[in-house]
Amino acid sequence: MAITGTEPLHTGALLSVAGLTKRFPVGRHLFRKATSFIHAVDDVTFDLEPGGSLGLVGESGCGKTTVGKLLVKLLEPTSGEILFRLPGLADHAVPDDPSELNEPAVDSASIEGRQLRAFRRRAQMIFQDPYESMNPRRTIYDTIAEPLSVQGMGTLLDRVDRVSEILDQVGLTPPATFLFRHPHELSGGQRQRVAIARALVVGPSFVVADEPTSMLDVSSRTGIMNLMQGLAQDLGVAYLYVTHDLAVARYMCHRIAVMYSGKIVEIGETEELLKNPRHPYTRALLSAVPLPDPGSTREPPDIRGELTAPIDPPARCRFFDRCPMATENCRTSPHPPTEEKSPGHWVACYEV
Amino acid sequence: MAAKINGPLLKVEDLTLRYLTRGGEVRAVEGVSFELEQGQALGLVGESGCGKTSVANSLMRLLPDNARLAGGQVWLRGEDIFALEEDEVREYRWRRVAMVFQAAMNSLDPVYKVGQQIVEAIEAHEIEGTISAARERVARLFRLVGLDPALMDRYPHEFSGGMRQRAVIAMALSCDPAVIIADEPTTALDVIVQDRILRELKAIQQQLNMAIIYISHDIAVVAEVTDRIGVMYAGHLVEYGNTADVFRAPLHPYTDALLGSFPSVTGERRPLAGLSGEPPNLIDPPAGCPFHPRCPRATQICQEEFPPQAWEGTQWAKCWHPMNAGAEAPSDVELEAASDVGIVEQSAHGEGG
Amino acid sequence: MITPPNYPGIPGASPGTPPGPPDLDVGNSRFRLALARIRLAWRSFRGAWSIYLESRIGVLSLLIIGMFALMAVAHPVLMLTIWDSGTYDPVTGYAFGQSQQPASPSWRHPLGTDPLGRDVLSQLLWSTRSEFVLGITAALVTVAIATTVGAVAAYYGGIIDAFFMRLADLIIALPGISLLIVLSALFKLNLFYLALVIGVLGGFGGTAIILKSQALSIKVKPYIEAARVAGGGHFHIILVHIIPNLLPLSLLYMMFTVTSAIFAEAVLSFLGLLDVRMSWGIMIHTANTGGYLMGGTRYWWLVVPAGASITLLCSAFYMGGRALDEVVNPRLRRRHD
């Protein structure tokens, strides 16, 4: 069975992405329309259940960060839809209990104005670079309280209390010693804790985490991963974890989606996907991960060539040029549909 | 080539380095000693700021103006490299020790063709007599690192990240160095490209019987490509041994914590403990063992005296309570004594719950 | 199940924590929150100040500007105490005690008198104040316009950006002083209007382009995206994130605008095109119309005090700008670490 863009939102899903596509024009000018496009995200479809976690894994330039930005409306899709079932979106009011999920689905494209504000309380993002994702002139208090103050939530004193409380939750204790520091006085790990606090301070139901540990030192990475996982579990937050590292995705997520050149090529439960990788790209990616075990030997990944940017790509399978299993059928047919090869394990490949 | 002298190819003894800064003297490298034989691969691992890059720069004699060599010696084939004159240093760099830098983009000049840059390096060191001989040599090097020699006349921006890294490796190999230092050679690369580069580096190293020092924060990379490993913390080399031994049974609690910080794609999915706290400020490092504020095994003595080497075969660690001495783990009495200064509280936090 | 470790981020306990502000106990009062912010601002000001003071030209520029500020204050004080207005008024005064005008420096007139018998020192001191007012008004107008235009053009891009940048190109292409000459012929320009004109030209001109390119580099920072995800609107992002990060550079160009304003005033007054009673430019103009500039160094007191003041004050603001540059651009700082 193929997933198409027309299926209704799965019952119980927090968000449902169908046929999501984003193209960026190449070489556009003020008075000239672009003729070439980078197909950054192409016909991407997946669901995320409340409190669930999905790891979006791929090499740099595969479109994984673009998917994340589309989900939090930092970018608008070229086509396709994102349906949200977030509390407080449909009726313009934010209920106190975010666990209520008998919400009608709302199309992301229709969210604007007051509804956008409600959306910003329910969907948040943690950015990759802890050094650049905070305004260097603003204090930790200003940074964390920003979502509260721009949305007019609570009085000044409520906000100070709330920020102190969340600082405590992310392990920056005692909060009073951190409130009025500037980001440059904190270590990378501490800053990423602030970033987590900023995302969680409004009580979201859904967070996009864009490689939050990739720029951190080894010793702070584990702490950040454990903190995120624990808080998400305690607060019932679902998250999309964007990463290039399969091992990190495995540690952090229930499910993993592997992206290649704007397409999701394989998606499934974490352990199932890693034990039985089906797509030739997933296999190559998995076999390229170095193992922290000096005795072991790995076969070299079975993949040819190098990654190229998907500028006006041909209609056939995106992985064709690098695939060790490519056939004549792969050359002449369109990009393969995503099919369920075993329960919950979807693969986009003609040959597996 | 210099005459062979009995002893190791590279011998670093008690290397100590300071940086003079506005805030005070940074104790970047503290008494680091190790040896390297022909054909060996050594990995130096540790967190950023632990001094691993400073060690590499000392070996290259590439130190910033505010650096001060406070002690120690480095011998390459029996020659004291800190005794070299300025003009000898130029000769020494690249011909004896070459470096593959972290940011490949920055080590290639964007306005010159890639092949030309390597030809110039060869000419500057008078390896080949003529330009055509030099170009032939570059073509051979390109093939060695898996690049098409036709790419010699391209500019760096026409190369992908992986190709640039290969070109930089070709450049490092261009003057037949005895030792290559690879400073995070694959950090900016995607995992598939990283795998290829590492395989090629390893093959070249075995083919040419070269010595290579990998500097990395990624222990999985180091596990795959090295035979010896040195773990650095706060400027000290805290553990050293055969890579297989260290990974199987680390002696130093820091190594143990480091190994436990990486998730894996294979094996049981288990919770990672990681490390608590932050690395020390090297302007004013803690007394005694620098790791004691973060160490779950720390006792009174760890705060007072720098630990001696504890040996296990050829492997050693600078630790009062090495991991192989299970029976010597701190007793309750010692823990009680330590609680006066808050160590127990912190280590309890570290184990977390 | 994996539980998060209880992370001991206690600053005192972890030696890696940088020395920060002392424990700011926020407590439960608005007053203490405000106090904490004031302390914080004071701390960052002190940091910037110590960097500024490390540069020799910065200190020199402060000394010179301070000296001129004293001169500006000295004039009204002297007029109220030992100078009678009949003799010492910079415009209407006349040195009755002198037999011949212009008179060379004496005890009563330390810098001599001009061809019309007015005290040169009094003119010099009186003009200092208006030069300050002129320079600072022009600088404030420039920076207010340039910062807004730069931030808005960079943030919105597209047609708004194109409009402001073409406007800036046009202003840069116009020869500045000649344009001012034309304007002063058409309108009666006094110091205030001159300040406005210089401010508007600078604000929509080159300074806007420089601040816009800086704003562009701020616009692509992830913290701008973070602010959008937080729910911040366009106005919030421009006002809270872009403009505050532009201000250091704005301040720098403010210093340079002061220099160009004082210089433009001197040129226009020298040409007699300004509707101004007295200024350093007018002082030189008076000497020139009387033919005293031809007399070599004989009548030096008619030209040197005003000329030197223009040069000194202009270069003081310029040097101040260069010293600020070191505070604003850490890359220019001498290497300490």
pLDDT, residue B109, reads 85
**Residue of chain C nearest B21, judged by CA positions:** C337
Amino acid, res. A65: T
Instruction: With a cut of 60, say whether residue B213 has pLDDT above it.
Output: yes
How many residue pairs from chains A and C have C-beta atoms closer than 8 A? 125
pLDDT bracket for residue B336 (50, 70, 90): very low
Alpha carbons C124 and C107: distance in angstroms, whole number: 17
Contacts of A259 in chain B (CB under 8 A): none
Q: Are B274 and A219 within 8 A, CB to CB?
A: yes
Amino acid, res. A133: S
* Residue B122 counted as domain residue: yes
Name the residue among B346, B344, B353, B352 with its Cα closest to residue B277: B346
pLDDT bracket for residue C273 (50, 70, 90): confident
pLDDT, residue A279, reads 96
**Helix crossing, C243-270 with C280-289: angle to 10°?**
20
Cβ of residue A286 closer than 8 Å to a chain B Cβ: yes
Q: Which of B21, B273, B281 sits opposite C15 (nearest CB)?
A: B281
Amino acid, res. B288: G
Contact B337, B324 (CB under 8 A): no
Using CB atoms, list chains with 3+ pairs below 8 Å to chain B: A, C
Alpha carbons A81 and A32: distance in angstroms, whole number: 28
pLDDT, residue C2, reads 36
* Residue B346 counted as domain residue: no
Token pair recorded at residue A310: 């998907």
Average pLDDT, rounded, for chain B: 84
Q: What angle do CA B231, B234, B235 make, to 5 degrees?
A: 75
Q: What angle do CA B209, B214, B219 make, to 5 degrees?
A: 125
Q: Which of B23, B278, B352 sits opposite C16 (nearest CB)?
A: B278
Q: Are B280 and C16 within 8 A, CB to CB?
A: yes
Taking residues C269-290, report their average pLDDT.
84
Number of independent structural domains in chain B: 1
Cβ of residue C15 closer than 8 Å to a chain B Cβ: yes
Amino acid, res. C331: R
Q: Are A229 and C26 within 8 A, CB to CB?
A: no
* Residue B66 counted as domain residue: yes
Token pair recorded at residue A184: 């440059």
Cβ of residue A228 closer than 8 Å to a chain B Cβ: no
Contacts of B352 in chain C (CB under 8 A): 3-7
pLDDT, residue A11, reads 58
Q: Are C15 and B21 within 8 A, CB to CB?
A: no
* Residue B32 counted as domain residue: yes
Amino acid, res. A297: T
Instruction: With a cut of 50, say whether residue B327 has pLDDT above it.
Output: no
- Show the domain range for B49: 10-77+84-242
Cβ of residue A288 closer than 8 Å to a chain B Cβ: yes
pLDDT bracket for residue C83 (50, 70, 90): confident
- In chain C the domains, ranked by start, together with CATH numbers, are 41-80+119-331 (1.10.3720.10)
Taking residues B274-282, report their average pLDDT.
85
pLDDT, residue B334, reads 44
Contact A180, C24 (CB under 8 A): yes
Name the residue among A194, A271, B273, A169 with its Cα closest to residue C3: B273
Average pLDDT, rounded, for chain C: 81
Contacts of C4 in chain A (CB under 8 A): 171, 223, 226-231
Q: What is the percent of chain C where pLDDT is above 70?
A: 88
Give the C-alpha distances (Å, rounded to integers) separating C312 from A17, C67, C121, C180, C286. 67, 10, 16, 23, 21
* Residue B249 counted as domain residue: no
pLDDT, residue C285, reads 86
Give the C-alpha distances (Å, rounded to integers) separating A182 from A46, A135, A144, A185, A190. 39, 9, 12, 6, 11
Alpha carbon of residue A62 to chain centroid: 13
C57 or B317, higher pLDDT: B317
Give the C-alpha distances (Å, rounded to integers) separating A158 from A94, C29, C270. 18, 11, 62
pLDDT bracket for residue C67 (50, 70, 90): very high
pLDDT, residue C336, reads 40
Instruction: With a cut of 90, say whether residue C114 has pLDDT above it.
Output: no
pLDDT bracket for residue C55 (50, 70, 90): confident
pLDDT, residue C106, reads 81
Alpha carbons A119 and A14: distance in angstroms, whole number: 13
- C160-215, pLDDT tens digit by residue? 999 999 999 998 888 777 888 888 888 888 888 888 988 998 889 889 999 999 99
CATH for B49: 3.40.50.300
* Residue B266 counted as domain residue: no
Using CB atoms, list chains with 3+ pairs below 8 Å to chain A: B, C
DSSP A127-173: -S-TTTSS-TTS-HHHHHHHHHHHTT-S-HHHHHHHHHHHHHHTT--
pLDDT, residue B26, reads 92
Q: Are B262 and A217 within 8 A, CB to CB?
A: no
Cβ of residue B281 closer than 8 Å to a chain C Cβ: yes
- C241-260, pLDDT tens digit by residue? 999 899 888 888 888 888 88
pLDDT, residue C331, reads 57
A245 to chain B, closest Cα gap in Å: 8
Cβ of residue B242 closer than 8 Å to a chain C Cβ: no
Contact B254, B206 (CB under 8 A): no
Token pair recorded at residue B22: 């506005």
Interface of A with C in 1-30 (CB under 8 A): 30
pLDDT, residue B103, reads 64
* Residue B49 counted as domain residue: yes
Place of tokens 């006006």: A312
pLDDT, residue A7, reads 41
Low-confidence ranges of chain A (pLDDT < 50): 1-9, 92-95, 99-101
ipTM of predicted assembly, 2 dp: 0.87
pLDDT, residue C48, reads 80
* Residue B24 counted as domain residue: yes
Q: Are C26 and A151 within 8 A, CB to CB?
A: no
Contacts of C333 in chain B (CB under 8 A): none
B50 or C92, higher pLDDT: B50
- B149-159, pLDDT tens digit by residue? 999 899 988 88
pLDDT, residue C180, reads 84
